[in-house]
């Protein structure tokens, strides 16, 4: 037990430490942490141990029996014949410093350090453009930003034609004559790499100006059509009201004119007969005809001989 504590103390404070190595891994993947012991037999060591974050991960005493693997690596750590370890199902929490320590017959062996870095793979890359138009000289100021999903320890590289810039943001000027320009952003970390391309174009005029003009022109045309239709409707109504310049022959007017001609129906031109009066007189005239029919007949006499030649006119009673 004292030997284990001594080894942990030496590993933590770098006593007898050797130069370390860096190992990169991907979330969900697996890595091998080398022991750097070379071709040796494990039974030559009285103690071998891997330490992570001040705690022992795996311990082998005399290495004659199975090694003791501690949590949280139990079930996903495999020990090789040279005391290298394979860690499976990596998580971001597995990142850190691992130290291999040991004791041999002649004393403590040099500590071997492994720096494990676990990364998330880059899944997608996006470009966010921002174009500022300068109408005075028909140019544009372009500013683009590159973003990626996944691990935050990402480096970005821009390619614009023959120009390469290592930065997350890129700024450049663009003229109208250059037309469409393709820019490519590459996002990379230690375990993955992805890129995307975006096309930018300089239009020194407001891109929405044409749309605004179209909408305004359409609205003005609709308004003009409405006004013309309204004016035509008003003119037609006015014309219809002014058109009868001669006196219209209404029923009331006809009756008045008839009564003016018939002095028996009215005493004066200033007192024209009404429609009601005319209708009453017509009805009275018809009634008189029905009650007093006029009959034409001749006097009948018996044994009447020829007399004077009959007159063409008969006596009417």
Judgement on whether residues 92 and 31 belong to the same structural domain of the protein: yes
Judgement on whether residues 92 and 9 belong to the same structural domain of the protein: yes
Question: 44: Cβ–Cβ under 8 A, 6 or more apart, which residues?
Answer: 104, 105
Kindly state the average pLDDT of the residues 184-192: 95
Structural domain contains residue 308: no
Question: 211: Cβ–Cβ under 8 A, 6 or more apart, which residues?
Answer: none
Structural domain contains residue 219: no
Judgement on whether residues 114 and 161 belong to the same structural domain of the protein: no
Please tell me the pTM assigned to this model: 0.54
- Rounded distance, CA 124 to CA 146, Å? 11
Judgement on whether residues 21 and 61 belong to the same structural domain of the protein: yes
Judgement on whether residues 99 and 173 belong to the same structural domain of the protein: no
Per-residue buried b or exposed e for 240-261, using 16+ beta carbons within 10 Å of the residue's own CB: eeeeeeeeeeeeeeebbeebee
End-of-domain residue from the set 119, 137, 161 = 119
Judgement on whether residues 91 and 135 belong to the same structural domain of the protein: no
- Rounded distance, CA 194 to CA 122, Å? 7
Judgement on whether residues 101 and 138 belong to the same structural domain of the protein: no
Beta strand ranges found along the chain (DSSP E): 21-26, 31-33, 45-52, 55-61, 68-69, 77-79, 85-87, 96-104, 107-108, 112-119, 125-134, 139-148, 155-160, 163-165, 169-175, 181-188, 193-200
Judgement on whether residues 137 and 169 belong to the same structural domain of the protein: yes
Higher pLDDT, 221 or 99: 99
At 234, the pLDDT band (50, 70, 90 cuts) reads confident
Judgement on whether residues 60 and 100 belong to the same structural domain of the protein: yes
SS3 category, 24:
strand
Higher pLDDT, 71 or 251: 71
Structural domain contains residue 245: no
SS3 category, 85:
strand
DSSP classification of residue 44: G
Alpha helices by DSSP H, listed for 1-111, are: 2-12
* Residue 204 scores a pLDDT above 50: yes
DSSP classification of residue 39: S
At 102, the pLDDT band (50, 70, 90 cuts) reads very high
* Chain centroid to CA 36: 58
At 254, the pLDDT band (50, 70, 90 cuts) reads very low
Q: What is the pLDDT of residue 10?
A: 44
* Residue 315 scores a pLDDT above 60: no
What pLDDT digit, counting tens, does each position of 124-178 carry?
Answer: 999 999 999 988 888 999 999 999 987 778 999 999 989 999 999 999 999 988 9
What pLDDT digit, counting tens, does each position of 47-67 carry?
Answer: 999 999 888 899 888 776 677
* Residue 291 scores a pLDDT above 90: no
Q: What is the pLDDT of residue 206?
A: 54
Structural domain contains residue 232: no
Judgement on whether residues 148 and 86 belong to the same structural domain of the protein: no
End-of-domain residue from the set 135, 168, 200 = 200
Structural domain contains residue 306: no
Judgement on whether residues 158 and 192 belong to the same structural domain of the protein: yes
Enclosing domain of residue 167: 125-200
Judgement on whether residues 48 and 74 belong to the same structural domain of the protein: yes
Q: What is the pLDDT of residue 256?
A: 46
Kindly state the average pLDDT of the residues 221-244: 79
End-of-domain residue from the set 119, 134, 158 = 119
Sign of CA dihedral 222, 224, 230, 236: negative
Q: What is the pLDDT of residue 176?
A: 87
Phi, psi of 79 (to 5 degrees): -100, 130
Structural domain contains residue 223: no
CATH number, position 62: 2.60.40.10
Structural domain contains residue 133: yes
Structural domain contains residue 217: no
- The number of domains in the chain is 3
How are beta strands 21-26 and 112-119 bridged, if at all?
Answer: parallel
């Amino acid at each position: 037990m004292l030997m284990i504590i001594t080894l942990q103390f030496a590993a933590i404070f770098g006593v007898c430490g050797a130069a370390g190595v860096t190992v990169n891994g991907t979330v969900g993947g697996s890595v091998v942490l080398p022991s750097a012991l070379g071709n040796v037999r494990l039974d030559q060591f009285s103690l071998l141990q891997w330490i992570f974050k001040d705690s022992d991960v795996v311990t082998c005493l005399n290495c004659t029996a199975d090694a003791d693997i501690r949590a949280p690596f139990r079930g996903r750590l495999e020990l090789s014949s040279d005391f290298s370890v394979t860690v499976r199902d990596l998580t971001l929490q597995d990142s850190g410093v691992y130290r291999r320590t040991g004791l041999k017959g002649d004393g403590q062996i040099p500590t071997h350090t492994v720096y494990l870095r676990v990364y998330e793979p880059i899944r997608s890359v996006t470009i966010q453009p921002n174009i500022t138009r300068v109408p005075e000289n028909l140019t544009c100021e372009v500013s683009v930003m590159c973003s990626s999903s996944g691990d935050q320890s990402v480096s970005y590289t821009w390619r614009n034609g023959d120009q390469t810039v290592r930065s997350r943001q890129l700024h450049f000027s663009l003229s109208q004559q250059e037309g469409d320009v393709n820019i490519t952003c590459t996002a990379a970390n230690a375990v993955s790499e992805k890129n995307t391309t975006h096309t930018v174009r300089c239009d020194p005029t407001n891109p929405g100006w044409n749309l605004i003009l179209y909408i305004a022109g359409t609205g003005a045309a609709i308004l003009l059509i409405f006004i013309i239709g309204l004016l035509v409707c008003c003119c037609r109504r006015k014309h219809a009201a002014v058109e009868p310049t001669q006196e219209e022959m209404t029923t009331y007017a006809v009756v008045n004119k008839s009564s003016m001609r018939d002095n028996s129906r009215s005493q004066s031109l200033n007192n024209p007969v009404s429609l009601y009066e005319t209708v009453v007189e017509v009805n009275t005239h018809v009634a008189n005809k029905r009650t007093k029919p006029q009959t034409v007949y001749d006097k009948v006499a018996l044994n009447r001989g020829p007399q004077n030649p009959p007159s063409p006119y008969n006596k009417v009673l």
